[in-house]
Amino acid sequence: MRDPAALYQALCRRDAALDGIVFVAVRTTGVYCRPVCRVRTPLARNVHFYRSAAAAEGAGYRPCLRCRPETAPFCPAWRGTQSTVDRALTLIEAGALDHDGIDALADRLGIGARHLARLFAAHLDASPTQMAQSLRIQRAKRMLDETELPIARIASRAGFSSPRRMSATFVALYGRPPSRLRPRRPRASQ
């Protein structure tokens, strides 16, 4: 932690740079706040600083009802449904939709499949399946550009169910099969 005197000065200024990074607990009230809270500034001798809301709660302080420090910036609750979409994207990138369906992904997130589809439409203007397909194509395209792997191996590693499925996807998107997208490499002279 930084110097408590410097933190107290930042509290007096209501420094937004510390919002979500430092939490201010007041001994006399038993409440902890965000440093930007508009309550009257407590005396320096009554203040203790914590790095997280959980640490302040663990020390016996309760959250301020005005500034809601338990939902401070950088906490998932602060970002609302965007954090759910971000978690879903992380799982999709890890291959969650390569073998399982939308229902399994939604179950892992603790929500329903219809609600997951609504969140994706609201935040990304695309469905989870479309995002998974786009990520597969990006992975395959990168492997086509950077490796000499056979098309069947690229399809498998990129998350496509078969080389035929990958080829059909590339033809639909690029108007040509993946083999024609592979860069021409000069042959080594023997």
Task: Examine the domain organization and report whether 48 and 97 are in the same domain.
Answer: no
120-146: average pLDDT:
91
The pTM score is 0.58
Domain around 61: 4-71
Last residue of one domain, picked from the residues 71, 98, 113: 71
Q: What is the DSSP track for 120-176?
A: HHHHHSS-HHHHHHHHHHHHHHHHHHH----HHHHHHHHT-S-HHHHHHHHHHHHSS
pLDDT over 90 at 163, yes or no:
yes
Overall number of domains in the chain: 2
Task: State yes or no: is 75 an active-site residue.
Answer: no
pLDDT for residue 72: 61
pLDDT over 60 at 170, yes or no:
yes
Task: State yes or no: is 33 an active-site residue.
Answer: yes
Task: Examine the domain organization and report whether 95 and 178 are in the same domain.
Answer: yes
Set 18, 22, 24, 67: catalytic member: 67
Task: Examine the domain organization and report whether 107 and 175 are in the same domain.
Answer: yes
Set 7, 10, 24, 37: catalytic member: 37
Set 24, 26, 33, 155: catalytic member: 33
Q: Residue 190 domain-assigned?
A: no
Task: Examine the domain organization and report whether 102 and 153 are in the same domain.
Answer: yes
Task: Examine the domain organization and report whether 61 and 151 are in the same domain.
Answer: no
pLDDT for residue 187: 59
Task: Examine the domain organization and report whether 89 and 170 are in the same domain.
Answer: yes
Task: Examine the domain organization and report whether 57 and 118 are in the same domain.
Answer: no
pLDDT over 60 at 140, yes or no:
yes
Q: Residue 45 domain-assigned?
A: yes
Last residue of one domain, picked from the residues 42, 71, 100: 71
Q: Residue 188 domain-assigned?
A: no
Over the stretch 29-75, which tens digit does the pLDDT of each residue have? Answer: 999 999 998 889 999 999 999 988 888 988 999 998 888 887 766 66
Q: Residue 189 domain-assigned?
A: no
Q: How far is CA 168 from the centre of its chain?
A: 31
At residue 32, what are phi and psi to the nearest 5 degrees? -120, 150
Over the stretch 66-107, which tens digit does the pLDDT of each residue have? Answer: 888 877 666 655 566 888 898 999 999 888 888 889 999 999
What is the Cβ-side half-sphere exposure of residue 42, based on CA atoms within 13 angstroms? Answer: 21
Task: State yes or no: is 67 an active-site residue.
Answer: yes
Task: State yes or no: is 64 an active-site residue.
Answer: yes
Set 10, 26, 64, 131: catalytic member: 64
